[in-house]
Amino acid sequence: MKANQEELALQVDEAEWGWLRPHLERGGIIVISHGLDLADAGVGIAEDNTAAVQGWISAGMLGKPTEEQIEEWDADQGRRFRTLIVSPFILVQEIAIARA
């Protein structure tokens, strides 16, 4: 079945880090940068578009969370993310925090 960008865009939701943390333990979290549309990344992953995914990884737009990110998120369990499930992964995009 071919992934549809519009259908995946409708499945984008929000979640707090505390809810997502258990998925990190199984290696299921993929971080998507703000320069890449979450649904577009989902389509690339769902369709196993190796060229696109490798390009995003090389550009630093897609990857596993860093130790620094994990430490920061663990310190703020309420940190919010836009999320998209593309089994077996959960794609996450951090929601920017307004700072004074």
- Extract the runs of DSSP E, i.e. beta strands, from the chain: 13-16, 29-32, 62-63, 80-86, 89-94
Beta pairing, strands 13-16 & 62-63? unpaired
The structure's pTM equals: 0.88
Of 1, 7, 18, 8, nearest to 85 (Cα)? 8
What digits encode the pLDDT tens for the residues 15-59?
A: 999 999 999 999 999 999 999 999 999 999 999 999 999 999 999
